[in-house]
Amino acid sequence: MKEPRLSPRTREKLIFRGLAGLPLGLLILLCSQCSPGDTKASLPKGDPDNGKLALADGFEALVVVDSVGRARHLAVNDNGDIYVKLRNVPPAGGTVALRDTTGDGKADIVKYFGTYKDPSSYGTGMRIYNGYIYYASTGVVYRSKLIPGQLLPDTTAEPMVIDDAYRANPRGTEHITKPITFDDKGHIYVPFGAPGDVCQAENRRPGAPGMLPCPQLDIHGGVWQFDANKPGQIQGDGKKYATGMRSLVAMAWNFEDGNLFAVQHGRDDFSRTWPGLYSPWQSALLPSEEFFRITEGTNGGWPYYYFDDMQDKKVLNPEYGGDGKKADGADTVALPLIGFPGHFSPNDLLFYRGDQFPARYKNGAFIAFHGSTIRAPYPQGGYFVAFVPMKGGKPSGPWEVFADGFAQRDTIVNTSDAKARPMGLSEGPDGSLYVTESVKGKIWRIMFKGDKAAFGEQQLAGMANRKQTATNIKQPDEKKDNLFKDTPGSIAYTQYCASCHLPGGQGDGNRYPPLFGSKWVSGPNKTLIEVVLKGLTGPIEVRGKTYDGVMPAHAFLSDEQVADILSYVRTRMTHGGSAIKAEEVRAVRAGLK
């Protein structure tokens, strides 16, 4: 009688559970419980409208829960329990546990836990490993031990990786989000994002040069490897695994290929900072969001280079002498596997290991695109889940639209218009795909109910059409898709202000406050002018909500530009407020000097 063998999928589960050394007979008994063989008949019914999602033929979706709070990443346990990390830490706790006890796919038990402190609002990571759930606040990666049979884990939040630099200066660093992933050798990987946009001495100041060499790369802009089972580590205890990566939120280990993969958030605001080199249209589409295969020592090129998918090459950033075409030295840094359109905001990555979906999805990559904030004056882009077919660690075909309709808008003018923004991805024990969103905290479960053998181009035709026609996905036409009239105030506002406060002044709801209805906008002229010239550092309260972003000084603008911007904001965003004259700006500027 032949000795039974365990599948790669089962071995992976055993490694994560810490059971790989047990006798084979006992392992097979355990695995019969942890790998349920669900069929189409045993899957719950999808919602009649698929939770308002657009999917390829044969797929169905249901809403597991409508609103648990502003959700980030999630993890689904082998018994189907769901754990979700919230962006903030409300009094009830910053982590949510959900269970379906009726088999209809809907969570009927929802419990909150985790009352650790988080001075900011970028808690993100959530993964299950070796009998623990690991989750990340802005500055710390924690873990809590799972208790067999119980929904809630031991609610003790044990610090595993501590960001010492952030703890010392909680408001001094951008891109502080900490996704997490694990390999099969006992390591956890944590990125430490760039503290600014492109390593300028004067961060985000138009025309300001980049520092050379960039000192931020010592402890920022890369991925560090740590011991997954050792508590209390700081960054210095880990090993810098990769560098030159500005901001990573979508990151995952690929067990088929045996390497780390991630999708980078590219830099911001080409046309605002370098209007002589980049048009608003180019700024809306560039730089590309880079999908990297990461091995130890990989250098992604930030802050010196960015990838232009329209030219299909890496080029120098203008802060380092680039003009949009120069590529001096670009052959010394890593090229991406794929360059996605700019500002799609890749926020989670998952390699599909299940068997429920058709065979073409096996080992392929799902990417949740959270959606842009800085594409004005063109429609915002992203807000969908993409799929990249993969073979041997490389794309085996062009990227596809897998799920769309989250935003419930044909044209997304402002980020705040979107009803939902896809954020986190996780695979259930039966091969279903779970998706979170960050506006209310809705969770979808996507299942395949069609004929796997017959699945092909015909079933994918509708989603292929969306890639070419949906305003949040297709490449906008430079003239036809420009959404705003060209007046001096609107042009200047779009160039210098809309990237944070959005085209309509609604703010992004997270870091940047709304202008519409704000006392800062409707208040005294002198105060408003001073804010633009001097900048403003939070926390501040606007319309009952606290915001902690940093507005840089805009004293580099001329008196006429400041007046045009503020007049545009006043007349458009305060129900007919009074305009501001260049002479007023000149007088305030003289007083500041």
pLDDT band at 577 (very low <50, low <70, confident <90, very high): low
pLDDT at 463: 98
pLDDT for 168 beyond 90: no
When pLDDT is averaged across residues 209-232 and rounded to a whole number, the result is 97
For 553, phi then psi, to 5°, come to: -65, 140
pLDDT, position 13: 52
Of 169-173, 356-360, 427-431, 510-514, least confident by mean pLDDT is: 169-173
Question: Cα separation of 49 and 418, whole Å?
Answer: 18
pLDDT at 483 over 90: no
Left (φ > 0), alpha (ψ -120 to 50) or beta: where does 324 sit?
left
How would residue 6 be classed by pLDDT, with cut points 50, 70 and 90?
very low
Give percent of the chain above pLDDT 70: 91
pLDDT at residue 209 tops 70:
yes
Q: What phi and psi, each to the nearest 5 degrees, are found at residue 21?
A: -95, 5
pLDDT of residue 133: 97
pLDDT (0 to 100) of residue 522: 80
* β-pair partners for 135: 126, 142
- Among 10-24, 53-67, 185-199, the range scoring the smallest mean pLDDT is 10-24
Rg (CA), the chain: 24
pLDDT of residue 28: 42
pLDDT digits (tens, 9 = 90+) for 304-324: 999 999 999 999 999 999 999
How far, in Å, CA of 157 to CA of 556, rounded?
46
The tokens 């924690």 sit on which residue? 142
pLDDT tier for residue 25 given thresholds of 50, 70 and 90? very low
User: Average pLDDT for residues 148-162, to the nearest whole number?
Assistant: 94
User: Which tokens sit at 84?
Assistant: 């979700």
Query: What is the pLDDT, as a whole number, of residue 468?
Result: 97
**pLDDT recorded at residue 351:** 98
Helix, strand, coil % (nearest 5) of the chain?
20, 25, 50
Q: Could you tell me whether strands 433-437 and 422-427 are parallel, antiparallel, or unpaired per DSSP bridges?
A: antiparallel
pLDDT on residue 485: 67
**Residue 266 CB-half CA count within 13 A:** 32
Residues 183-199: pLDDT tens digits?
A: 999 999 999 999 999 99
Q: How many helices (H) and strands (E) would you count in the chain?
A: 12, 35
Cα angle at 450 between 444 and 451, to 5 degrees?
A: 145
Task: Give the mean model confidence (pLDDT) for residues 225-249.
Answer: 97
The 10s digit of each residue's pLDDT in 68-83 is: 999 999 999 999 999 9
Minimum mean pLDDT among 454-458, 461-465, 528-532: which range? 528-532
* Average pLDDT rounded to a whole number, residues 508-533: 84
Strand runs (DSSP E) across 277-322, as ranges? Answer: 289-294, 298-299, 305-308, 313-316
Say if residues 244 and 301 touch (Cβ distance below 8 Å): yes
* DSSP conformation class of 471: T
- Stretch 349-372: mean pLDDT: 98
Q: Taking residues 260-275, what's their average pLDDT?
A: 94
Query: Cβ contacts of residue 441 below 8 Å, gap of 6+?
Result: 65, 67, 68, 69, 70, 71, 84, 86, 96
Say if residues 336 and 399 touch (Cβ distance below 8 Å): no
CB neighbour list of residue 138: distance below 8 Å, 6 or more residues apart: 118, 119, 120, 121, 122, 123, 163, 166, 170, 176, 177, 178
* 582-592 helix and 525-534 helix, angle to the nearest 10 degrees: 60
Q: 131, 100, 99: which is closest to 13 by C-alpha?
A: 131
Residue 233, by phi and psi: left (phi above 0), alpha (psi -120 to 50) or beta?
beta
Element (H, E) at 99: strand 95-99
Task: Tell me what the pLDDT averaged over the chain comes to.
Answer: 90
Average pLDDT (578-593) is 89
Complete edge-to-edge strand list for the sheet that includes strand 259-264: 248-254, 259-264, 289-294, 338-340
pLDDT digits (tens, 9 = 90+) for 540-551: 888 778 887 778
**C-alpha separations of 432 from 69, 204, 354, 496 in Å:** 22, 42, 8, 43
Q: What is the pTM of this model?
A: 0.83
Using the predicted structure, report yes or no on whether residue 23 has a pLDDT greater than 60.
no
Judged against a pLDDT cut of 70, whether residue 440 lies above it is answered with yes
Predicted local distance difference test score (pLDDT) of residue 569: 87
